[in-house]
Amino acid sequence: MCGIVGFLALPSLSSTDGETILINMAKAIEARGPDDHGAWCDAERGVGLGHRRLAIVDLSPAGHQPMTSVSGRYVLVYNGEIYNHAQLRKDLESQGHLVDWRGHSDTETMLAGFDFWGVTSTLEKCQGMFAFGLWDRDTATLTLARDRAGEKPLYYGFLGTGPSRTLVFASELKALRAHPHFEGNINRDAITLLLRHNYVPAPYSIYQNVYKLPPASQIILSLSDVASQQAPQPIEYWSITGVVENGRADPYKGTPEQAVDDLDALLRSVVDQQMMADVPLGAFLSGGVDSSTIVALMQSQSARPIKTFTIGFEESRFNEAVFAKTVAQHLNTDHTELYVSAAQAMAVIPKLPHIYDEPFSDSSQIPTYLVSALAREHVTVSLSGDAGDELFAGYTRYQATSNVWQKLSRLPQPVRALASGAMASISPGRWNAVTDFAPPLKRRFGTNLGDKIHKAASVLGSVGIDQLYRGFVSHWPDPKRVVLGSNEPHTKLTRDWSSLGNLTDVEKMMLLDFMTYLPDDILTKVDRASMAVSLESRVPFLDHRVVEFAWTLPLNYKLREGEGKWVLKQVLDRYVPRQLIERPKMGFGVPIDEWLRGGLRDWAEALLTPDKLRSEGFFDVNQVRNKWQEHVAGERNWAYHLWDVIMFQAWLEGTNG
């Protein structure tokens, strides 16, 4: 795994100055590639490429980047792994493209593919995760591209004015900030998205004129684009909606039992392929269905015990370590677990602004960093079970939202809107008081009945399942009222998906998560946490063949009698007894709500003082302060809302500090 940087500028730099800029940009993301670095600059064309290397495959100098193709046409900086690159070499040779290979890196394989098949055709043949910058000397164009699911990040944007106009790109924002022309004007509209989702979704970033390249896309840029500071629209080379439509047009025709056989065989092949490495390799293990499946398939194909890693917590409601240990013992893995105290976990928080580099407020970022750091003490590559829920209907919210909508949709929308207003007109405190006189309600809802009713009221007036789901996965329901001088941009969650009318409600939500929550939250979280400790993380479920197979399966192969991931659980049953896995789903989280009232209270209060909020001028002070005061008093649980604001404040302070 690596970090990449580069620029395309109106020619005004010497090669020496250009290389200095590249080296400084790459130095900012050294953790992504501590083993080697390189810079290449063509001052006459105004282009420069820089690289930081974490050596995984071909540890020799033959894997050094930037790398030039044999023809001399292409120069490449690349971050990722192409798992089928050995087969691609055979395909090239069988089709008559004979190469005098310098080494066995996948970087060299990609360049040979670009020379022979062209860029887009090579992308379509690659099985892997990647982001790259590719300079084409023949056409004087820069191509940026990103893998299908969005495992690897890539930012790009325009800096400077006049003769200093520059297009820059990098794996992380901190590299862009190292460019001498970087201004760092904050995008207030992006803050509204952070407050709604706890992340800034692609194509937006926290900075004006800086964008995330969407997954499965490439963008081709020239000096004329730099001069006009207008980038063309990214072009998809693979489409998840196309995959869904193809799966519906040509669905799986085998029996459920045959589907289990086929999924087992496919996952075994993918996992075997992703165990390719010239360095120590292991896996994250939570003891849940997804990670246990990946570890079981790894162990079934390994002659030695697979190294597995789990973080444990003292708080039982967040502790999965005991379940992971039983699975590890059954599979005979070489298991390492580390129990951390609340104080140890909270000690990670000051590092988060630098690690995540952009405001990001999924609090499971904390245990993700801890388990990555633990794994890095023993291995350089770790496989994970991410994406099983999005592909096989694993989230309980899918069924819950669908059931709610089936009932709500029977009522006319104006009636629902009226009921919403009536429910919201009663304060949460008064709703909570009802439970004091109704023990059954208190047993079911605890002391936060009012919060749940107000959440329900906020989505009751929804006009469709898409809008209902967006409401359920939102934190602040109307963030533009909280962020001063802002407008909330449109995202994939606000688009009209009625054209996909042949999907069930559950399938629509799975698709929306795959396009939004998965790349912009889950994969971002894992990439930044693992790369901060120079650990490569791989996600077998995101091999595009698995994604495409999953979308051919009928929903009742995934969701049966209220049980999600049916077909995947049948695969796991072949390796691990069901009783070791069967338990209520746990989130990989930490008790942020309690910490904000306890060990984090003074730190958070310092970030949320009225004077500080007022002087910075990003948030409506009264709304933020009211939620903070209600939370610390124990009147309401505003942990998610406050963590969004606090993570922005911590990032702002860290960036300007």
Distances (CA, A) of 539 to 83, 273, 380, 544: 12, 12, 15, 11
Q: Please give the Cα distance from 134 to 154 (Å, whole number).
A: 13
**Count of alpha carbons within 13 angstroms of residue 565, beta-carbon side:** 23
Element (H, E) at 102: none
H helix intervals, 473-504: none
Q: Please give the Cα distance from 327 to 345 (Å, whole number).
A: 25
Contact criterion met (CB below 8 Å) for 76 and 25: no
Q: Please give the Cα distance from 379 to 381 (Å, whole number).
A: 6
Catalytic choice (2, 144, 193, 216)? 2
Q: Please give the Cα distance from 533 to 300 (Å, whole number).
A: 28
Contact criterion met (CB below 8 Å) for 458 and 435: no
115 is in an annotated binding site: no
Residue count (the chain): 657
Q: Phi/psi at 170 (nearest 5 deg)?
A: -170, 165
Residue 2 annotated to the active site: yes
Amino acid 45 reads R
Q: Please give the Cα distance from 378 to 376 (Å, whole number).
A: 5
Residue for token digits 């580099």? 357
184 is in an annotated binding site: no
Distances (CA, A) of 264 to 268, 301, 349, 568, 571: 6, 13, 39, 8, 6
Q: Using alpha carbons, select from 634, 592, 638, 624 the residue that is nearest to residue 454.
A: 638
Contact criterion met (CB below 8 Å) for 115 and 97: yes
**Count of alpha carbons within 13 angstroms of residue 370, beta-carbon side:** 26
106 is in an annotated binding site: yes
Q: Which residues pair with 38 in a beta bridge?
A: 51
Amino acid 596 reads L
Amino acid 272 reads D
Our measurement of the distance from residue 203's CA atom to the centroid of its chain's CA atoms, rounded to an integer in Å, reads 13
384 is in an annotated binding site: yes
Contact criterion met (CB below 8 Å) for 56 and 128: no
Task: Please enumerate, by residue number, every residue annotated as part of a binding site for ATP.
Answer: 311, 384-385
Query: What is the set of active-site residues?
Result: 2
Known binding-site residue numbers: 106, 311, 384-385
- Going by the annotation, the residues of the binding site for L-glutamine are 106
